[in-house]
C-alpha cells in the first residue's frame, strides 16, 4: 500500500506578485485560519497517505513553522529544505534517501478532487512503468500546456502558450516509483519541463484521465476562486455499518485473517470514492466491552481493510467504532464503567463535527432496523441491505447521491 505523499511547496509564486512576496504560495490564506495547503493535505490524508514530506525552498521557514513535526488525522508531517534553488525535480532528488518505493507526488499549489487510490492501484498493476500521472481535459490548455496520450501512455508534453483549444493537461498529481528520480540529470531541474518529457520518451509513464473539481492558485484570479470555492465546501457522506454490510458477520469480527468482504462491497466503496462522496464506517463493537478483544485488534482489522481496498483502487475516509451502546451511531450516553465517563455524541454526529459533510445528501447503509433508526435520528436517508450483492443493491441509490464523474480508464 502506497502510504507516502511528497508535496512540492518550494515555488516562488511569481504570477501572484506582491501577494507572494512574503508568503509561500501554498500558504495563501483561504478563509479563517485555513491556508491552501491545509485543504490539500486533508484531501491527500483522507485517502490513506499518512507519511507526508513537504519539499520546501522559497520562504521555507514559514512552511517549517506551520507544519514541521505535526500530525494531522494520524498522518505525520516532515519538512525537507533544499540547500539551494534546485527546481521541482532537484528538490525531489534532494529528498531521494527519504522516498518510499512508491509515493504520491503532488504540487502544493494545485488541488484535484479525484480518487487518488485509482492512481496507486494502477501503478501496482503495471510493473513496466515508473509513474501514473493524473490528467484533466481542459477546454483551453494555453495556461497549462498539454499532454498527448497514446494507448494509455503519455508520449509528449506541449509547453504553455504554444497551442489553444481542448486538450489533456497535467493536473499536478501522480504516483511514482522511487527509480524515477534517476531521470533527474542536473540541477536546477524541472519535473514538468525536464523529467516528465524524459519519462515519456522512455515510454514509462501512463496517464489516467479524471473529471473532478480542479484549482490551481497560480494567479490572483484563481486564488480568489479558490477562496470562494473551498472555505465552506461540503460533500456527501455514505455511512456504512460494517459487519453484515461490508464484511460477513461471523460474530465479533476482529481477526485480520478472518476478513471476508461481502459480495460487491469493494466495488460499492470504490463507486462512492469515484463520486467524490466520503466513505465512512460506523460500527458497534460490543466485543471490546465484553473483553473478547481490544481496540488495537479493531485498528488492525481496519488497517487490513484499508490495505486490501487500496489494492483495488478504493479507500475508507474514516472508521468510527463504539464498544458500548447498540445505537451508538447517534446516541448520546454516559457509560458507567468508562474511565472518565465523558458523553459520547454518537459516531455520525462526531463525523459531522470532524468532516465537511453535506447532511442533506448523505445516507447510511445498514443491515438492521436499528441502523435505519440511527439514520432517521441523524437526519439522513437509510438503505436496508438484506444480503446478496451490495453493489447491485445500492448502485442506483448511490448514483443519486452525487452524479458519477465521467472518466476514461487507461489501466
Is residue 321 helix, strand or coil?
Answer: strand
Q: What is the pLDDT of residue 72?
A: 97
Q: What is the DSSP string of 210-227?
A: E-S-EEE-SSHHHHHHHH
**CA angle (126, 309, 275) in 5-degree steps:** 95
* Residues catalogued as catalytic: 241, 243
Residue pLDDT, tens place only, 216-241: 999 999 999 999 999 989 999 999 99
Least confident residue range of 68-77, 260-269, 291-300, 400-409 = 400-409
Q: Read off the pTM.
A: 0.91
- 407 — pLDDT class (breaks 50, 70, 90): very low
Query: Residue 166 to residues 86, 126, 142, 163: CA-CA distances in angstroms?
Result: 32, 29, 9, 9
Structural domains for the chain = 4-230 (3.90.550.10), 237-401 (3.40.50.1000)
- For residue 125, pLDDT over 50 is answered with yes
Query: Residue 284 to residues 80, 95, 324, 377: CA-CA distances in angstroms?
Result: 41, 43, 7, 16
* Chain mean pLDDT for the chain: 89
Distance CA(5)–CA(308), nearest Å, equals: 19
- Looking at residues 278-297, what average pLDDT do you find? 90
36 vs 409, higher pLDDT: 36
Report the chain's C-alpha Rg in angstroms: 22
| Residues 230, 356 contacting (CB under 8 angstroms) | no
Closest CA to 13 of 223, 269, 278, 297: 223
Residue pLDDT, tens place only, 184-212: 988 899 999 999 999 999 999 999 999 99
Least confident residue range of 198-202, 288-292, 344-348 = 344-348
Q: What is the pLDDT of residue 402?
A: 59
Torsion angle, CA of 338/340/341/344, rounded to 10 degrees?
-90
Distance CA(163)–CA(146), nearest Å, equals: 8
- For residue 334, pLDDT over 50 is answered with no
- 329 — pLDDT class (breaks 50, 70, 90): low
Strands 205-210 and 131-138: parallel
Q: What is the pLDDT of residue 410?
A: 42
Distance CA(401)–CA(377), nearest Å, equals: 19
What region does 264 belong to: left with phi over 0, alpha with psi -120 to 50, or beta?
left
Distance CA(408)–CA(377), nearest Å, equals: 39
Distance CA(155)–CA(173), nearest Å, equals: 17
- For residue 340, pLDDT over 70 is answered with no
| Residues 195, 184 contacting (CB under 8 angstroms) | yes
Q: How far is CA 395 from the centre of its chain?
A: 22
Q: Per the structure block, which three cell numbers stand in for 177?
A: 516509483
Distance CA(175)–CA(185), nearest Å, equals: 20
Q: Per the structure block, which three cell numbers stand in for 219?
A: 494567479
Amino acid at each position: 500500500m502506497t502510504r507516502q505523499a511528497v508535496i512540492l511547496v518550494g515555488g516562488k509564486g511569481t504570477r501572484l506578485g506582491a501577494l507572494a512576496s512574503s508568503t509561500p504560495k501554498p500558504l495563501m490564506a483561504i478563509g479563517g485560519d485555513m491556508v491552501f495547503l491545509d485543504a490539500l493535505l486533508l484531501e491527500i490524508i483522507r485517502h490513506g497517505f499518512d507519511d507526508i514530506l513537504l519539499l520546501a525552498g522559497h520562504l521555507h521557514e514559514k512552511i517549517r513553522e506551520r507544519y514541521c513535526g505535526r500530525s494531522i488525522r494520524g498522518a505525520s508531517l516532515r519538512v525537507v529544505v533544499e540547500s539551494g534553488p534546485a527546481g521541482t525535480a532537484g528538490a525531489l532528488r534532494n529528498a531521494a534517501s527519504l522516498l518510499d518505493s512508491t509515493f504520491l507526488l503532488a504540487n502544493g499549489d494545485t488541488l484535484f478532487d479525484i480518487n487518488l487510490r485509482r492512481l496507486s492501484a494502477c501503478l501496482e498493476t503495471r510493473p513496466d512503468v515508473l509513474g501514473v500521472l493524473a490528467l484533466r481535459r481542459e477546454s483551453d490548455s494555453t495556461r497549462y500546456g498539454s499532454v498527448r496520450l497514446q494507448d494509455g501512455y503519455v508520449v509528449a508534453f506541449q509547453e504553455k502558450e504554444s497551442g489553444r483549444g481542448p486538450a489533456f493537461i497535467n493536473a499536478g498529481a501522480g504516483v511514482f516509483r522511487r527509480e524515477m528520480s534517476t531521470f533527474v540529470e542536473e540541477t536546477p531541474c524541472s519535473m514538468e519541463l525536464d523529467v516528465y518529457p524524459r519519462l515519456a520518451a522512455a515510454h514509462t509513464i501512463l496517464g489516467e484521465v479524471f473529471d473532478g473539481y480542479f484549482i490551481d492558485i497560480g494567479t490572483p484570479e484563481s486564488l480568489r476562486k479558490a477562496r470562494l470555492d473551498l472555505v465552506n465546501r461540503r460533500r456527501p457522506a455514505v455511512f456504512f455499518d460494517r459487519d453484515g454490510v461490508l464484511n460477513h458477520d461471523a460474530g465479533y469480527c476482529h481477526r485480520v485473517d478472518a476478513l471476508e468482504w461481502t459480495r460487491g462491497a469493494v466495488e460499492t466503496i470504490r463507486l462512492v470514492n469515484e463520486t467524490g462522496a466520503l466513505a465512512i464506517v460506523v460500527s458497534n463493537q460490543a466485543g471490546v466491552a465484553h473483553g473478547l478483544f481490544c481496540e488495537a485488534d479493531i485498528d488492525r482489522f481496519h488497517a487490513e481493510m484499508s490495505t486490501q481496498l487500496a489494492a483495488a483502487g478504493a479507500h475508507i475516509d474514516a472508521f468510527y467504532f463504539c464498544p458500548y451502546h447498540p445505537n451508538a451511531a447517534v446516541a448520546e450516553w454516559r457509560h458507567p464503567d468508562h474511565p472518565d465517563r465523558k458523553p459520547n455524541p454518537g459516531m455520525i454526529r462526531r463525523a459531522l463535527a470532524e468532516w465537511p459533510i453535506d447532511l442533506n445528501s448523505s445516507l447510511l447503509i445498514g443491515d438492521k432496523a436499528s441502523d435505519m433508526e440511527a439514520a432517521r435520528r441523524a437526519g439522513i436517508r437509510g438503505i436496508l441491505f438484506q444480503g446478496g450483492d451490495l453493489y447491485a443493491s445500492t448502485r442506483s441509490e448511490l448514483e443519486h447521491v452525487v452524479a458519477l464523474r465521467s472518466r476514461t480508464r487507461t489501466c
